[in-house]
Amino acid sequence: MDLDYWWLLLIPVVFGLGWMAARFDVKHLLSESANLPRSYFRGLNFLLNEQPDQAIDAFIEVVKLDPETTELHFALGSLFRRRGETERAIRVHQNLLNRSDLPSVEREHAMFELGLDFLKAGLLDRAEDTFKSLDEGAFAIDAQRCLLTIYEIEKDWAKAIETAEALEKISAQSFRKEVAQFHCERAQEALQKQDSAQSVAELRLAREANPANVRATILAGDAEMATANPAGAIDHWRKVETQSAAHLPLIVERLMKAYSALGRDAEGAHLLMQYLDKYPSNDLLDTSYTYIAQQIGTEAAHQLVRGQMQKAPNLAGMSRLLEAQVATAEEPRRGELELMRNLMRQRTKNLPRYTCQSCGFRARLFYWQCPGCSGWETYAPRRVEPMASGG
């Protein structure tokens, strides 16, 4: 079969074109670099060496020499904001917006950065107005997210719900979890105002937004207790077992108050025994121990603690075990056990912590919204003891 060799002639032609293009790019890069002030490269060098103060001084000098460098303005404003110098960051971005020749895309960028400056400075009303102006364009979604943050800070849950639902329409992200929590916040506010009807309505909306929301179930029980209906409260709280057994420790005290209001304390304690048998955990044992000891007996409580310690030994459980042993011991052993128990209490009273699974923030109380990263439902309803650091 004959071979066509003519296409081989294209190889040196293509090679030559590539060489010329590379030469052109290099010349273009060198010419651009030659036009940049030396302060620009000094600033980059300071940034690489983690010297932000010197880098800012160098970039300020560049901006004075060449006011048209918009990207440098953005970098400088971002540096100021990260350092907490929000007034200087605001001036940088306002100077950009004052330019009549600024392209629309960069104008939107400058508006968004200015909104971040206001937010960082705590000027929430000005930040809100700025982000609201970005209802279209490349920064619309990010602006809506910032608005959501503002409404959460202000606890304006009605606007937070509206903004979250708007975000769902313009982004691919679901905000059902957040919307349900916002309705729960409104329900809790209504409970504090003794507005049971409003609370029930908000909880219905919360369950519609997220049927798996455990908080709505717990608050529904609170609403029943607020109307002097402990039996109805118990019905709601017992549903937590099917929703999330891990959250049972959060309702133990509530359950026992309701059973006590009905004069059925022993029934409530036996229910806690059933929970412990099916879902053994240190938190559930810790919250249930006192009620079981009071209603069923210290020996039953002792057996529970001992069994749990054999499965998963920990300091908090050890404190409960010593407490159970003190209740059943005789002198002089009781005195020795009391000393050990008191020492263990002092050592463990601050140990167990709820931990945010998103940012690692640790707290003694359980939060539906993390105080550290503001994430919703990021706390596991299980306390953990910090690992001892080696030394």
In angstroms, the CA 323 to CA 223 distance is: 35
Cα-flanking dihedrals φ and ψ of residue 173, to 5°?
-100, 140
CB-CB contact of 115 with 145 (8 Å)? no
Q: What is the pLDDT of residue 255?
A: 97
Q: What is the pLDDT of residue 270?
A: 94
356 is in an annotated binding site: yes
- Residue type at 333? R
**How do residues 269-296 score in pLDDT, each as one tens digit?**
999 999 988 998 888 888 888 898 889 8
The predicted model scores a pTM of 0.75
Domains of the chain, by residue range, sit at: 67-172, 174-263, 264-350, 353-386
359 is in an annotated binding site: yes
184 is in an annotated binding site: no
In angstroms, the CA 157 to CA 46 distance is: 44
CB-CB contact of 96 with 110 (8 Å)? yes
DSSP code for 36 = S
Class of domain 174-263: mainly alpha
Q: Quick check: 5 pLDDT over 70? A: no
Residue 90's nearest CA partner among 105, 106, 110, 72 is: 110
Of 201-210, 317-326, 367-376, the one with minimum mean pLDDT is 317-326
Domain 67-172 belongs to what architecture? Alpha Horseshoe (1.25)
Cα-flanking dihedrals φ and ψ of residue 299, to 5°?
-65, -40
Q: Quick check: 34 pLDDT over 50? A: no
**How do residues 286-337 score in pLDDT, each as one tens digit?**
888 889 888 988 778 777 777 776 666 666 666 666 666 666 666 666 665 6
Q: One fold for both 67-172 and 174-263?
A: yes
* Residue 28 banded pLDDT, cuts 50, 70, 90: very low
Q: How many residues does the chain have?
A: 391
CB-CB contact of 298 with 327 (8 Å)? yes
In angstroms, the CA 155 to CA 146 distance is: 14
Q: What is the pLDDT of residue 388?
A: 44
